[in-house]
């Protein structure tokens, strides 16, 4: 099955989409990667979902990526004696370490690490920013705040801290357990939530040990401060606009989205745009014009993937939401302005032989009008370099590693094929041409360009380009 678009689609699984039949329908509609949200999924249920995805993969004969999204630390208030209070603008409200149920003047904050980190002038956002406080004084046991934006506040509402770096791990004991369970299933991608600093990534990678690729969800202002180092240490980025828009002025999020998309493209790391992309399709069969434009903007920017959350997990129209994303992406990619926008954002290649080879492959393919760029790759690096160039020519990744083939389902424009390793250069060329023919990318007498690393089976050593003429596919 060949997708007729370059941007990939990530669909979140949930009550509306967790049956094998529905997952198959989502794949047929255009989903390339399935996301399992561990905030709402037990280990046993995760294993069932992974088994169902693997079964679909066998049926369709195409790799399917799995993204396991860790919950991360959830910071919440304690409980009120009466269940809820109404906070008035300008009043004093205290958060403290006293576990006694709260009232209109105070509440227990069961996170000593927050009280230790807060300083006068820091802002606190309660219940997704519906109520806003500013700290006036703070000690390790209590913080006295002023209510800037009032409203009703009830038990266990979330706390966001846009100005405060908390000296605690981004991975909770639950995340550690979820991570180990996910690695046992053999999933390809692990998403880390509420990352603040580079050290949060290394904690996870020390456990993962290369068994899965690491995706960082950017949803904290502190992560923006360390963006370059976070991109360097991670394998991919998710622009998690929901939480980011709570902790930062919402009008800054579109600019940050473009900044992160372009930074990831320069680094050759996949970037996903997520949250509220087709929000109205949770309850309606069609999106708003603004949502359609939002998805289109991400595709115009050259994002590797666009993601559905509640739309596919809990919405009334999960298949229609995936099909709509597919339709929007295909229409954008056929727009006469699409190519000029992508080309204008292309960064200069790094001064390495492998990057120069990838840039040359794109230039040759454009000049000679080749049918496909074919990358033999072990760990996926050659294919990611080719995708970073955002070529007009389709990119085919041939790899002997199933994990690599599945990871590449997230990468812009890459059609990954599991293929036995080549014996020598002639075998590499012959089978590359045959795969391109049989997958429908090239016909007899079409020309393709092949990139690889020589000696063979040397990860990251892309150093060869060869143009070949296709002479049929595999003989039955």
Map out the domains of the chain with their CATH numbers.
8-72+169-335 (3.20.20.60), 84-160 (2.40.33.10), 353-469 (3.40.1380.20)
Q: How far apart are CA 201 and CA 198, in angstroms?
A: 5
Strand, helix or coil at 33?
A: strand
pLDDT per residue over 240-254, tens digit each? 999 999 989 999 999
- What integer is the mean pLDDT of 307-326? 98
Residue given tokens 């991109």 in the structure block: 231
458 band by pLDDT with thresholds 50, 70 and 90: low
Residue 308 has pLDDT above 90, yes or no: yes
Q: How far apart are CA 268 and CA 167, in angstroms?
A: 31
Set 24, 76, 104, 174: catalytic member:
76
Q: What is the dihedral of CA 85, 90, 91, 95, to 10 degrees?
A: 80
Cα-based angle 190, 294, 285 (whole degrees, multiple of 5): 90
Residue 141 has pLDDT above 90, yes or no: yes
* 275: annotated active-site residue: yes
Percent of the chain with pLDDT over 70: 98
Residue given tokens 């990611």 in the structure block: 384
Set 35, 132, 269, 385: catalytic member:
35
Phi-psi region of 397 (alpha: psi -120 to 50; beta: other; left: phi over 0): beta
Range with lowest mean pLDDT among 23-37, 49-63, 104-118, 453-467: 453-467
Cα-based angle 329, 31, 413 (whole degrees, multiple of 5): 55
Q: Which of 6, 377, 407 is nearest to 385 (CA)?
A: 377
pLDDT of residue 348: 81
Residue 21 neighbours by CB under 8 Å, 6+ apart: none
Residue 32 has pLDDT above 60, yes or no: yes
* 35: annotated active-site residue: yes
Q: How far apart are CA 447 and CA 450, in angstroms?
A: 10
Percent of the chain with pLDDT over 90: 87
* 76: annotated active-site residue: yes
- What integer is the mean pLDDT of 146-150? 97
Set 143, 164, 275, 381: catalytic member:
275
* 390: annotated active-site residue: no
Set 132, 217, 241, 407: catalytic member:
217
Residue 459 has pLDDT above 70, yes or no: no
Q: How far apart are CA 332 and CA 342, in angstroms?
A: 12
Strand, helix or coil at 421?
A: coil
pLDDT of residue 441: 96
For 138-176, letters b (16+ CB in 10 Å) and e give: beeebbbbebeebeebeeebebbbbbbebebbbbbeebe
Residue given tokens 């360009």 in the structure block: 449
Residue 476 has pLDDT above 60, yes or no: no
pLDDT per residue over 344-396, tens digit each? 988 887 778 888 888 999 999 989 989 999 999 999 999 999 999 999 999 99
- Paired tokens of 392: 């007009």
Range with lowest mean pLDDT among 160-174, 222-236, 328-342: 160-174
- What integer is the mean pLDDT of 122-148? 95
Mean model confidence pLDDT for the chain:
94
């Amino acid at each position: 099955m060949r997708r007729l678009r370059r941007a990939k689609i990530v669909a979140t699984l949930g009550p509306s989409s967790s049956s094998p039949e529905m997952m198959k329908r989502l794949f047929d509609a255009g989903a390339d990667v399935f996301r399992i949200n561990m905030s709402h999924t037990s280990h046993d249920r995760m294993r069932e979902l992974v088994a169902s995805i693997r079964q679909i993969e066998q049926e369709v004969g195409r790799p399917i990526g799995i993204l396991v999204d860790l919950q991360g630390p959830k910071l919440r208030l304690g409980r009120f004696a009466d269940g809820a209070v109404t906070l008035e603008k300008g009043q004093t409200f205290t958060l403290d370490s006293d576990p006694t149920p709260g009232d209109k003047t105070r509440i227990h904050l069961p996170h000593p690490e927050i009280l230790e980190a807060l300083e006068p002038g820091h802002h606190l956002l309660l219940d997704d920013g519906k109520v806003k406080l500013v700290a006036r004084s703070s000690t390790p046991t209590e913080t006295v705040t002023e209510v800037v934006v009032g409203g009703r506040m009830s038990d266990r509402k979330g706390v966001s801290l846009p100005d405060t770096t908390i000296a605690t791990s981004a991975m909770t004991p639950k995340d550690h357990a979820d991570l180990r369970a996910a690695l046992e299933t053999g999933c390809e991608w692990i998403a880390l939530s509420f990352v603040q600093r580079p050290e949060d990534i290394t904690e996870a990678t020390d456990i993962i040990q290369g068994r899965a690729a690491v995706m960082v969800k950017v949803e904290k202002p502190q992560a923006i401060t360390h963006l370059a180092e976070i991109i360097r240490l991670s394998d991919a980025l998710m622009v998690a606009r929901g939480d980011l828009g709570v902790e930062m002025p919402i009008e800054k999020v579109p600019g940050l989205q473009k900044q992160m998309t372009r930074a990831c493209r320069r680094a050759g790391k996949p970037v996903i745009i997520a949250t509220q992309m087709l929000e109205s399709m949770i309850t309606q069969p069609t999106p708003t014009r603004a949502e359609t434009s939002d998805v289109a903007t991400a595709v115009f920017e050259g994002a590797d993937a666009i993601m559905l959350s509640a739309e596919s997990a809990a919405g009334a129209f999960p298949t229609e939401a995936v099909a709509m994303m597919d339709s929007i992406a295909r229409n954008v990619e056929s727009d006469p302005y699409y190519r000029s926008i992508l080309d204008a954002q292309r960064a200069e290649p790094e001064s390495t032989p492998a990057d120069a080879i990838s840039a040359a492959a794109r230039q040759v393919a454009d000049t000679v009008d080749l049918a496909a760029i074919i990358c033999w790759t072990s760990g996926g690096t050659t294919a990611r370099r080719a995708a970073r160039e955002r070529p007009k020519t389709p990119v085919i990744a041939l790899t002997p590693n199933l994990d690599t083939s599945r990871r590449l389902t997230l990468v812009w424009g890459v059609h990954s094929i599991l293929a036995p390793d080549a014996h020598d250069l002639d075998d590499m060329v012959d089978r590359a041409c045959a795969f391109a023919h049989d997958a429908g990318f090239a016909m007899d007498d079409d020309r393709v360009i092949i990139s690889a690393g020589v000696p063979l089976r040397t990860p990251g050593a892309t150093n060869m380009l060869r143009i070949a003429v296709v002479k049929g596919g595999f003989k039955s």
